[in-house]
Amino acid sequence: MNSRKILYFASALTSASFISGSALAVTEISWWHAMTGANNEVVETLSKEFNASQSDYKVTPVFKGTYPETLNAGIAAFRAKQPPHIMQVFDAGTGTMMAAEGAVKPVAEILSMGGKPFDKSAYLPGIVAYYSKPDGTMLSFPYNSSSPILYYNKDVFQKAGLDVDNPPKTWAEVRDAARKIKTSGAAACGYTSTWLTWIHTENFAAWNNYQWGTEENGIAGPNVELKVNSEPFVKHFQELADLAKDGTFKYGGRTSEAKQIFLSGECGIMTESSGGLGDVIKSGMNYGTGMLPYDTESQNTIPGGASLWVFGGKSDEEYKGVAAFFNFLSQTDIQARLHQVSGYLPVTLAAYEKTKADGFYEKNPAREIPIKQMMGKAPTENSKGVRLPNLPQVRDIMNEEYEKMLAGQQTAQQAMDNVVSRGNAAIKEAMN
């Protein structure tokens, strides 16, 4: 009895030492992320494939909650001096991470540690610009990028007597179509939109080449003054508020809640992230897609989504592992698959070309729309992106003012003036 116990204990000890012995040879790379559902499975699969592809490094993905929760967890871990190696940070958190220069290590630097020289031109310019410093150094690795596009319900279009194959191109056309849907009774509401901040403010500015803020919308420097109370913005939002009065436009919420009212058939048209395509397909709706509407002429849209940041203060060996993982992610096959399966934009040009050559877009035209929107023209100083050290806070201010406007408590002019004065005060406060 006793001797058997000792034997068992001894064997347990030796096997334990074996495990720890082998673990010493492998460098662990922790990856904190905010992906749920099918996207979480993608994260798990990618890590497993990378771990199986080589034996020096082991990537361990850890789910940390929503985007803001993940960012907070990373910040808390950094303050406790135990940050992960890689952290996924959402678009609006980009400015926060960039301001923390001592805490992060530029991805461009890390990629060049992986043995291969880092070639920026291999990556999609519109996306890379969004995650780069003013001097062009790429700071984070774009992981899941998307851009807003237009979705419409073909059955509703048919009932309303609208052209099923030609979705509205300009905002004026969207408004006309929405009124037609409402008055004809084809649907209870004509148009809805997710993310009024990201789509109707930030992308509205870039896509129409209007100025959102000074300093190239914050890309060139952090001392930004908001300019969104100019005439085009005020006019655009007043039209939206007017449509909201009789329910032609229906507000769904601050983030992507409006998707629900489109999927339920309540509204006939929706503007949403290209990443929302999966849910639209899953609903079984007879849907169509189009480019994001513009006023008179289109420029280019800007990405949303998230990128991977690397914390500073780790060993060279660990950074080599991170570099190996990023190089693994950049492979054309992996990128093309990620793009085709998940709907994220491809990060490299080669992956885009491969997907095109495969004939994927002929069957899935909606997948190419955001790429075309972002690659059409060289970005101007109004359309490189939007960056603030406290963008989440400024977006909150916008949401509050938009809600008051849509409830009829203030005009668009008042709302945009409030956004500018409150937003500028908040930016100034965050800067000192």
Partner 1 sequence: MLLALHPTPVSFVCDPLCNAEGKRALHMTPRVVFPNKVLPYLLVAPQLAIVLVFFYWPAGQALYQSMLKEDPFGLSSRFVGFDNFRKVLSDPNYINSLEVTLIFSVATAAVSMCVALLLAVMADKVIRGKGFYRTLMIWPYAVAPAIAGMLWLFMFNPSIGTLAIGLRNLGIAWDPLLKGDQAMVLVVMAAAWKQISYNFLFFVAGLQAIPKTLIEAAAIDGARETKRFWTIVFPLLAPTTFFLLVVNTVYAFFDTFGIIHAVTGGGPGKATETLVYKVYNDGFVNLILGESAAQSVILMVIVIGLTAIQFRYVERKVHYG
Q: Which residues of 299-311 are buried (b: 16+ CB within 10 A; e: fewer)?
A: bbbbbbbbbbbbb
**Residue 36 binds partner 1, judged by CB under 8 A:** no
- Closest C-alpha among 270, 274, 255 to residue 189: 270
Choice between 369 and 405, CB closer to partner 1: 405
**Residue 403 binds partner 1, judged by CB under 8 A:** yes
Choice between 59 and 241, CB closer to partner 1: 241
The CA angle 151-155-160, to the nearest 5 degrees, is 95
Least distance CB 429 / partner 1 (angstroms): 8
Q: Which residues of 380-411 are buried (b: 16+ CB within 10 A; e: fewer)?
A: eebbbbbbbbbbbbbbbbbbebbeebbeeebe
Least distance CB 400 / partner 1 (angstroms): 5
- Closest C-alpha among 416, 5, 7 to residue 212: 416
**Residue 190 binds partner 1, judged by CB under 8 A:** no
**Residue 406 binds partner 1, judged by CB under 8 A:** yes
Encoded tokens for 212? 């959102």
Least distance CB 334 / partner 1 (angstroms): 31
Among 1, 4, 21, 102, binds partner 1 (CB under 8 A): 102
Choice between 43 and 241, CB closer to partner 1: 241
Q: Binding to partner 1 (CB under 8 A): which residues in 262-291? A: 264, 266
Among 68, 125, 222, 232, binds partner 1 (CB under 8 A): 68
DSSP strand pairing (148-153 vs 287-290): antiparallel
User: Which amino acid, one-letter code, is at 279?
Assistant: D
Least distance CB 241 / partner 1 (angstroms): 11
- Closest C-alpha among 371, 395, 148, 131 to residue 275: 148
**Residue 78 binds partner 1, judged by CB under 8 A:** yes
Distance CA 391, CA 372 (A): 26
**Residue 252 binds partner 1, judged by CB under 8 A:** yes
Stretch that binds partner 1, among 126-134, 197-205, 377-385, 401-409 (CB under 8 A): 401-409
Site string for partner 1, 103-122 (x = CB under 8 A): x-------------------
Among 47, 208, 355, 390, binds partner 1 (CB under 8 A): 390
**Residue 254 binds partner 1, judged by CB under 8 A:** yes
**Residue 95 binds partner 1, judged by CB under 8 A:** no
Q: Could you give the strand order of the β-sheet that contains 189-193, starting from the edge strand earlier in sequence?
A: 249-251, 189-193, 267-273, 148-153, 287-290
Distance CA 146, CA 367 (A): 10
Among 44, 155, 215, 396, binds partner 1 (CB under 8 A): 396
DSSP 60-94: EEEE-SSHHHHHHHHHHHHHTT---SEEEEEGGGH
Distance CA 151, CA 292 (A): 9
Among 399, 411, 414, 424, binds partner 1 (CB under 8 A): 399
The residues that touch partner 1, with contacts defined as CB under 8 A, are 68, 72, 75, 78-79, 96, 99-100, 102-103, 251-254, 260-261, 264, 266, 390, 392-393, 396, 399-401, 403-404, 406-407, 409, 429-430
